[in-house]
Homo-oligomer: A and B are copies of this chain.
Amino acid sequence: MLKAKPHESKAGRFVPPPKLPPPTPVVDLSDAEMRLAQDLLFFAYRDFTNVADKVLEELDLGRAHHRALHFIGRNPGITVSGLLAILRITKQSLARVLNALVDQGFVSQAPGFEDRRLRLLTLTDKGQALEQRLFDAQCTKIAQAYRESGPQAVQGFRNVMRAMMDKGARAYMDGTGSAEDA
């Protein structure tokens, strides 16, 4: 459908332009489902991350900082390598956000006990407070979505999302604690 005209209020007539091709073809039901899924993932992810972004904006932090905070909070004592394996970004990309978080007192680093090359990452109290605040914002969103959809839908959502993840991510979710591979 052409929703390209948000306000043709006065004139009000919609004249279709000459010879538009049909929308991307939907050959069968499963094809329609796929198209739907694309839209769902785009909009839902955007609007989900949006609520945290608003909080981050006040503090001049970005989404990358949030991700680091989240995974450090969930895995206290994680190493830089471990975090890299989860996030799958380069060391340099992580260093930028990590240094900012350490400088601003959100994250602290401690050398490993047995292996002193390691830098064990933890959230400071300040970091935990911020992470909690970001979590609360997204929590509201998730809770509302879950309430709207019902518990059965939630289980389905979880199954599909998990099935969309690759092997390494599933292994991490299974609590092996290691994001073994890419």
Which A residues fall within an 8 A CB radius of B?
A: 1-6, 8, 11, 13-18, 20-24, 26, 30-48, 50, 67, 70, 73-79, 81-82, 85, 88, 99, 102, 108-114, 116, 118-120, 122-123, 128, 131-132, 135, 138-139, 141-146, 148-150, 152-166, 169, 172-173, 175-178, 180-182
Contacts and interface: CB of A to CB of B under 8 A. Distances in A.
Contacts of A32: 178
Assembly stoichiometry (copies): 2
Give the secondary structure class of A's interface: helix
Contacts of A35: 74, 135, 178
B153 A159 contact: yes
B99 A1 contact: yes
A37 B4 contact: no
A182 B77 contact: no
A156 B149 contact: yes
B82 A47 contact: no
A154 B163 CA distance: 11
